[in-house]
Amino acid sequence: MGDGWRPDAAAGDPEGPPPASGTATDLELVPVRHLVESPVDTVFVLSPGDRAIVESGASVVVGAPIAERLRDPRLEDKVVTEPVQPRPGDRWHAIGRVVGAGGGSASRGPHGGEYLFPWRTRWRVATGDIVDPLETPVAGIVRDVRPGTSITLRAAGRGIRGIVALGGPTRGRLNMATKPGGGLRSGGLDVGMAGSILVVDARIDAETLTRARAMGVRGIIVPGMASKERRDYVASEARQRAALHRLPPFAVLVMEGATRRPMAGPVMALLAALVGREVAIVADPPMLIFDAPDVTVPTPPPDLVRIRTGPLSGSEGRWLGPAGRRRFAGGVDLEAGRVRLADGGAVAIPLGDLERFA
């Protein structure tokens, strides 16, 4: 909707010059984007046959296994001969004994499985031959365990929300891979980046992601990622999951979306303050989580606003006040606000295309 911004009177606007500055009440018209969220409840998705090995209320540390995942699950029909009839979510193992949904030592191993539903005179069971551990990248308290569905964990620390996270969950030391606005190619990677989560202030291609994962990088944070690169990376990730020898967990956190625009200035300032710290990327919600109480979140100027869409997408400036109802491209009339850009020019932008930080 921001494709038809118009300059104010300083650049030819017939409605007169903008006011000197906006008021606190005026700023309430602009949607708020929170830099940091706390507390953070992250969800680890389980598939049928996966086994949770933690209980609700348990305290976990970084790297603790919280579930066992079947690598290549399959459905089998089993005859129940035990006097205790199973229920959906109960565990099955090779000798046919029924155990509770929480599982026990008897349900461990490659021959474990999960009762799903009765099928004629038998039970349909999700089982498999290879079990992979699911380790938590954050410390916290287990809030909820739903067998075959999910584990919800209240993470210790705070989080920076993104748009989508691919892969993961993972953990590593945060590092800046490029200067602001700089891109990263596969040739720019080296073994010294192994074990780190890299911040790249530009879009990235699937080849670079594949090489980064192969070199031991634990994750990459980018402002945008095109749909084609997402599909290529997801396909590469699926092939990696099917491999017998797996690489360490790897994730991509997309902060802005699919368009070409730089990372928000306040977000980059916060990421710069976290350089050298251990951070984690989780997928639900897509977020970068850090547990660093001594890190002060940089406070952006209260009148700083950012343009989210349109030809000036990604530009930041100072809020000057409401501009009233304006006509934009396509013949639509929208409520707008005036923004003073870094080059000194002032523009009228639809309020829905703006965001401020808190």
Task: Tell me the CA distances in angstroms from 116 to 81, 124, 149, one per residue in order.
Answer: 17, 6, 12
Instruction: State the distance between the two ends of the chain, measured CA to CA, in whole angstroms.
Output: 24
Model confidence at 245, in pLDDT bands (50, 70, 90)?
low
Model confidence at 16, in pLDDT bands (50, 70, 90)?
very low
Whether residue 210 contacts residue 190, with contact meaning beta carbons closer than 8 Å, is answered with: no
Q: Which domains does the chain have, with CATH numbers?
A: 6-34+300-357 (2.30.30), 45-135 (no CATH), 157-290 (3.50.30.10)
Please give the Cα distance from 188 to 202 (Å, whole number). Answer: 14
**102-153 residue pLDDT tens:** 444 333 444 578 888 888 888 888 888 888 889 999 999 999 999 888 999 9
With the C-alpha atoms ordered 347, 348, 352, 357, is the resulting torsion angle positive or negative? positive
Residue 39 in tokens: 């507390």
**86-96 residue pLDDT tens:** 888 888 875 54
Q: Phi and psi of 207, rounded to 5°?
A: -60, -45
Ranges 21-30, 92-101, 280-289, 300-309, most confident = 280-289
Residue among 124, 147, 171 nearest 66 (CA):
147
Residue among 317, 354, 309 nearest 335 (CA):
354
Least reliable range by pLDDT among 11-20, 50-59, 172-181, 291-300: 11-20
Please give the Cα distance from 19 to 8 (Å, whole number). Answer: 11
